[in-house]
Structure 1
Amino acid sequence: MALLRSRLPFIGPLCCGRKDISFFSNTSPSNWSKVVSDAEKIVGYPTSFMSLRCLLSDELSNVAMHVRKLVGTKHPLLNTARGFVYDSKNNLQMRGLVVLLMSKTAGPSTAAAELPKQDMVSGIYPSQRNLAEITELIHTAFLVHRGIVNLKDWTNSDGPLKDMQFGNKMAVLSGDFLLANACTGLAQLNNTKVVELISSAIGDLVQGIYYESSSTAEESDPSDDTTVALWEEQTFLSHGALLAKSCQAAMELANHDKQAQGLAFQYGKHMSLGHKMNSDLHPFVKGSVGDPLPFSMNSAPVVFHRHIVGPEKWLLQLQQATAFGRQVDYTKLWRTVKAGKGVSSAIDLCCHHGNKALEAIKCFPPSEARSALENIAGAVTKF
């Protein structure tokens, strides 16, 4: 949900529509709902209530009252808030759910006796449930922060400037509040290795968002030589590091060895990359010729296409798709990318990441929780 807008002189805006904020944004709603429902039964309760204590706190309730003042404006924070309350197609707590499923899949370690006394509930330690909530709070905080509008690019036609300024203040305060609660909960886990892991994940998120913002500002540059490997690296930082390191941290809280921690990390990493590929591919596998779905110029199929055709041909295709007024005809460019080999190459890589996630999780003993993680990995490689 990259909401910082950039009015680019050569090819226009980053994408021709809104980006979803959900973790798995483009899987089949009916099939995905069943996968999520079955998984929530396994971990013991609906994860949609995981952050309820924080969301109902007096401090955030006061913030919510102020956010209501944005009703009727175009500030993206309002849509972000609506998405947290209700999303008809997706579950917004998927990172926490995956952490809980991973915790249950691995179970207690042989060295569990060395841990402080904890009573497991549905096969999950309380500290692991707290970690799942912390993961969701961090994710939510960054979503809110990314709803800050670049006021230099805002015009009178977008709405009153004072509303945008007020919305930005609320986005900063709300995001900081959620992040502060996450850090407090992290300290209360009393595990320095987990603190180190999640802190590094926060750093990765910041770095990844910086890369994304830089790519947004420079995406009109036809000489952009972003490789697929670099795209994967940057995508891992902004979309995969938090889940991968949270899964690893869940193993650390149960005192599992480095091998189990590495497998959990690999599952979270490849799951996240597979999901991002799925999300980027959606406009090209679901959109029709007459009504193509919005897509980003930095999405995986476009990056693959640009890499395959080379910078000179890509520049020519951009020029051919540029209409009067120096705005890109996205329908024409969509047809060009779809007709190339970038889409099929992206599909292959998406399936590769899904298979790597399945490979990692199959090293754990068979169980309902493991089956749920396998179903989740399978869901993000279906189009």
Structure 2
Amino acid sequence: MWGALARRGGRGGWRGLAAGRPPAAAAPWSQVVSEAEKIVGYPTSFMSLRCLLSDELSNIAMQVRKLVGTKHPLLDTARGFVYDSRNNLQMRGLVILLISKAAGPSTAELSFQPNMVSGIYSSQRSLAEITELIHTAFLVHRGIVNIGELKSCDGPLKDMQFGNKMAVLSGDFLLANACTSLAQLQNTKVVELISSAIGDLVQGIYYENSKLSEENCLTDDIGISTWKEQVFLSHSALLAKSCQAAMELAKHNAEIQDMAFQYGKHMSMSHKLHSDLQPFVKESSSDTVVFSLNSAPAILHQEFLGREAWIKQIREAQGKGSLMDYKKLQEAIKAGKGVTSAIDLCRYHGNRALAALESFPPSEARSALANIVHAVTRFS
């Protein structure tokens, strides 16, 4: 079904991924991001750096050095702020700036000649920073480890407990700064939209953690529809509602706001699917590839195979020991229909995102938004 929709290109006659620039010819992600940053006026790679370099967080960073030598996930999160080879950390802010520029000022605002830089309101740039701060805060909060599941090789217990305290403190600080800046926008609808997105994030992470805490729970017993609902909450809601909020700040009508929401939703869904697919579509290497048993290809594989047969495959991959043979499980999933179905679903959401862009006038910014979709729906 998703493959047919992807080939037809969804609604409105938009041929999307099959037209003009096919996924196979799409530019690499890093090039797409670099070109898009030029369009919005400045690099967004360190959009939240102003807050990250504040005195309060600088003091926290000094304390986090105590975690060096341990396996606390807060260290990996901190490294990601400085160097992110996949350019994913600031993707949300960049999309918000691009869609703001693509939409331009509304008819109601034209007569006021508002203060704009590179075709983007200062309030929209603030919103992009707020969105990145919220996303970063939740990344930091996700770095809290379950003390009861620690092993001796992870690091001393007191250091891991200290790392958890730092993750809570720094995440709360970022979230508080985001909320303060949000209030300064003085737009009640925008506050409502972003507040609901924060609620969605909390709910989505709760679903993830509640499943992980179940005893002997190897993988979720859910279908792809439930998976999409959960992914929307934990990955797509923030970007979708931020794109809509950017249109509200420019006083665009409800239709344009909805199209911005749809773009943010479906682009981030295809982005998550692309990420889930990487262990199954990358060129083979000698290194063992670890992947989530609740990723899209695995969930779709389970739907085709059946729950009992899927659990049997997992048990066989585990063998007699506790270590999982991911290579064996990876081959089993690749031999089924899960990977091709996930690719079809990724391109389906990509086409839905491209269809939403039809409501915006042709421009460099709109082309950049389309190129982002092409980059995350490209598979060799």
Same structural fold, with TM-score higher than 0.5 when normalized by the shorter chain: yes
Letter matched to residue 299 of structure 2: V
Q: Which amino acid aligns with 1:284?
A: F
Counterpart mapping for 1:103-182 below 5 A: 103-112=100-109, 118-182=114-178
Q: Quick one: distance in 1 between partners of 2:240 and 2:353?
A: 11
Aligned with residue 65 of structure 1, among 58, 62, 65: 62
Q: Kindly provide the amino acid, as one letter, of the partner of residue 200 in structure 2.
A: D
| Residue 52 of structure 1: how far off its partner (Å) | 2.5
How far is the alpha carbon of 1:186 from its aligned partner? 0.2
Q: Matches of 1:28 and 1:189 in 2, distance apart? A: 40
Q: Distance in 2 between matches of 1:289 and 1:337?
A: 17
**Equivalent position to 1:188, from 184, 188, 193:** 184
CA distance in 1, matches of 2:288, 2:52: 37
Q: Secondary structure at the match of 1:226?
A: coil
Equivalent of 1:37, from 34, 43, 52? Answer: 34
Render the CA deviation track for 1:2-51: whole Å, top value 9, x for unaligned: xxxxxxxxxxxxxxxxxxxxxxxxx9998222111110111000012322
Structure 1 vs Structure 2 CA RMSD = 2.1
Size of the aligned set, in residue pairs, is 356
Contact 1:144 1:174 in 2 (8 A): yes
Any unmatched runs of 5+ in structure 1?
A: 1-26
In structure 1, what residue type is equivalent to 2:208?
A: E
Give the deviation of 1:215 after TM superposition. Answer: 2.9
Tell me the SS of whatever aligns to 2:115.
Answer: coil
Q: TM-score, normalised by structure 1?
A: 0.88
Displacement, 1:298?
0.1
| Distance of aligned partners of 1:76 and 1:233 in 2 relative to their CA distance in 1, 3 Å threshold | same
- Give yes or no for the alignment of 1:251 onto 2:247: yes
1:76 counterpart residue number = 73
Q: Residue 202 and residue 323 in structure 1: after superposition, are their counterparts in 2 closer, same or farther (change >3 A)?
A: same
Matched residue type, 1:317: Q
Contact conserved, 2:27 with 2:371, CA < 8 A, in 1?
no
CA distance in 2, matches of 1:168, 1:291: 30
Please give the secondary structure, in 1, of the residue aligned with 2:374. Answer: helix
Q: Which of the residues 343, 349, 355 maps onto 2:339?
A: 343
1:283 corresponds in structure 2 to 279
2:218/2:293 contact within 8 Å kept: no
Q: Is the 8 A contact 2:69 2:155 kept in 1?
A: no
Counterparts of 1:222 and 1:120, CA distance in 2: 51
Tell me how far apart the structure 2 counterparts of residues 200 and 28 of structure 1 sit (CA, whole Å): 38
Structure 1 residue 311: Cα displacement: 1.7
Q: Quickly say closer, same or farther: Cα 1:321–1:70, change in 2 above 3 A.
A: closer
Structure 1 residue 322 displacement after superposition: 2.7
**What SS is found at the alignment partner of 2:107?**
coil
1:321 equivalent to 2:317? Answer yes
Shift of 1:157: 2.5
CA spacing shift, 1:214–1:29, aligned 2, 3 Å:
farther
The residue type paired with residue 238 of structure 1 is S
Which deviates more, 78-87 or 308-317? 308-317
Answer with 85-94 or 368-377: which moved more.
85-94
Q: What CA deviation, in whole Å up to 9, does each residue of 1:324-366 have, x standing for no partner?
A: 1244322211111110011111110000001110110122100
* 4+ residue runs over 6 A deviation: 27-30
Residue 22 of structure 1 corresponds to which residue in structure 2?
none
In structure 1, the partner of 2:198 is 202
Alignment of 1:295 onto 2:291: yes
Q: Specify the code of the residue in structure 2 equivalent to 1:265.
A: F
In the alignment, is the contact (CA less than 8 A) between 1:223 and 1:311 conserved in 2?
no
The answer on 1:267 being equivalent to 2:266 is no
Corresponding residue for residue 47 of structure 2: 50
Deviates more, 1:193-202 or 1:220-229: 220-229
Distance (Å, rounded) in 1 between the aligned partners of 2:318 and 2:289: 18
- 1:292 Cα shift? 4.7
Change (3 A) 1:35 1:199: same
- TM-score, normalised with respect to structure 2: 0.89
1:111 is paired with a residue whose SS is helix
Cα distance change of structure 1 residues 319 and 156 upon mapping to structure 2, 3 Å threshold: closer
| 1:125-155 Cα deviation digits (max 9, x unpaired) | 0000000000000000000000011101112
Contact conserved, 1:29 with 1:89, CA < 8 A, in 2? no
Name the CA distance, whole Å, in 2 between partners of 1:83 and 1:199.
Answer: 26
Q: What corresponds to 1:359 in structure 2?
A: 355
Contact 1:207-1:237 at 8 Å conserved across structures: yes
The aligned counterpart of 2:15 is none
Give deviations 1:156-195, integer Å, cap 9, x for gaps.
2221011101111111110000000000000000000000
**Deviating more after overlay: 224-233 vs 301-310:** 224-233
The 1:200–1:160 alpha-carbon spacing in structure 2 relative to 1, beyond 3 Å, is same
Query: Residue 24 of structure 1 aligns with which residue?
Result: none
Q: Against the structure 1 CA distance between its residues 157 and 303, is the aligned structure 2 distance closer, same or farther, given a 3 Å change threshold?
A: same
Task: In structure 1, give the amino acid aligned to 2:106.
Answer: S
Distance 1:98 1:219, change over 3 A: farther
The answer on whether the counterparts of 2:263 and 2:356 sit within 8 Å (CA) in structure 1 is yes
Q: Which runs of 5+ in 2 are unaligned?
A: 1-23
Identity level (%): 71
